[in-house]
Amino acid sequence: MMCLSTLLLLLVVFVGQSTVSSNPQQVSPLPVLEQILWERNMDGVSLYRIPVITYTPGGNLLAAVEARKSSGGDAGPKFLTVRRSTDKGYNWSPQNFIVNDGSTYYDGLNLGVVLVDDIMSSIYIFYSVCAHYEKCNTSSALYVKSVDDGITWEKPVNVSAQIGTKMFAPGPGYGIQKKYHPHKGRLIVCGHGTLAGDGMFCLLSDDHGKTWRNGGDVKSIPYNKPKVSGDFQPDECQPMELPDGSVVVNMRNQAHYHCHCRIIATSYDGADTFDIENVVFDPALNDSGVAAGALYHRGVMYFSNPNHRTSRINLTLQWSYNNGTTWAGQLQIWPKSSTYSCMTTIPGGLEDHVYIIYEKGISSLESISLVRVSLYGGLL
């Protein structure tokens, strides 16, 4: 029999979590600042792609991208490069090339996930190498770690000995540290596999990144078989945690199974499992087959992607007051060429703003741009 003190504790937790997610303050998002952080041929790099962004333990901002050295293709040699802002996004440091995969490595590094461990005040950036098996036959997942707020970075750590060498492409986006039970404090990084063995897969750590293991997944159908249009093929993804402790993963619908819209999976055990009855589609979120941004903040869920069924144009921010059951409004960020995006806010700092980093161009991808969005009326 449950004792009275335990029952009262559970009631307090339930009421506290319900209060966080019920009756959130209504938002009226408005862009108040935009600037280019990377652009074609900057510092001699052919093209910058796959932007991710996060707050830092010190209350600053950190952005990271792939610097594709000589071509715009997904394979080929690259740098991993970062920039920091210590004044809420107004000014940014010169880029810091923190990983160099060499000049002859044909299937180089691919971003990736940025992850903050708030308890240990550390930052991880996850990436893969040999993700496409182009002139190589063993894929690896690695991370670099910073313990000084993203100023310096330790040497890369290969986690393949712990998780295996099945291709795992993290994100792209951010990872999460669970703030609620179950498994409070757990680090979660989600990503996808090869196109044949595609699907959404998560890596978990319960010891602040010392060890990693494979967690829950949503596998493609048919699994490990060539795909055709219309197959079930979850792909690039972004996890979020809700105040009830559930983990919601917003996923790219690569082969447009069921609709040209997003796939949503929910786990109630800290991403250990994703039951099929908790995998749904959101017809309100158009998906042309592209990575997207998602964020849960102050009781409001936000989503950013090219809002078009078939083309990578019209980057749009949308928001929901009921955890994505319905979407209350939308704001166009950029009407022309736009693809991958990622979002963050600064906890304990400028919480009335959301930062969106995205790939931007006129007719093709030309730059990585950052837009700061005021959530409550546009005041700086």
Q: How far apart are CA 264 and CA 323, in angstroms?
A: 11
Q: How far is Cα of residue 302 from the mean position of the Cα atoms in its chain?
A: 13
Q: How far apart are CA 259 and CA 286, in angstroms?
A: 9
Answer yes or no: is 19 within a domain.
Answer: no
Answer yes or no: is 4 within a domain.
Answer: no
Answer yes or no: is 324 within a domain.
Answer: yes
Q: What pLDDT is recorded for position 22? A: 65
Both tokens of 153, joined, read 């970075």
Query: Each residue of 53-84: b (16+ CB within 10 Å) or e?
Result: bbbbbeebbbbbbbbbbeeeebbbbbbbbbbb
Indicate the length of the chain as a whole number: 380
Both tokens of 69, joined, read 């050295």
Residue 195 per-residue DSSP state: S
Q: What pLDDT is recorded for position 377? A: 77
Residue 12 has pLDDT above 90, yes or no: no
Catalytic positions are 74, 340, 359
For residues 26-32, average pLDDT: 96
What range defines the domain where residue 115 resides? 25-374
Residue at 255: amino acid letter: A
- The 10 Å Cβ neighbour count of residue 269 is 15
Residue 323 per-residue DSSP state: T
Answer yes or no: is 13 within a domain.
Answer: no
For residues 31-41, average pLDDT: 97
Q: How far apart are CA 105 and CA 309, in angstroms?
A: 36
CATH number at residue 321: 2.120.10.10
Answer yes or no: is 86 within a domain.
Answer: yes
Answer yes or no: is 215 within a domain.
Answer: yes
Q: How far apart are CA 255 and CA 155, in angstroms?
A: 37
Q: How far apart are CA 268 and CA 182, in angstroms?
A: 8
Structure confidence by residue, pLDDT tens digits, 242-300:
999 999 999 999 999 999 999 999 999 999 999 999 999 999 999 999 999 999 999 99
Structure confidence by residue, pLDDT tens digits, 103-126:
667 899 999 999 999 999 999 999
- Pick from 190, 170, 167, 169: which is nearest to 178 by CA? 190
Structure confidence by residue, pLDDT tens digits, 203-237:
999 999 999 999 999 999 999 999 999 999 999 99
Answer yes or no: is 75 within a domain.
Answer: yes
pTM over 0.75: yes
Domain total in the chain: 1
Q: How confident is the model at residue 23 (pLDDT cuts 50, 70, 90)?
A: confident
Answer yes or no: is 12 within a domain.
Answer: no
- Pick from 300, 314, 170: which is nearest to 237 by CA? 170
Structure confidence by residue, pLDDT tens digits, 58-67:
999 999 999 9
Q: How far apart are CA 67 and CA 342, in angstroms?
A: 17
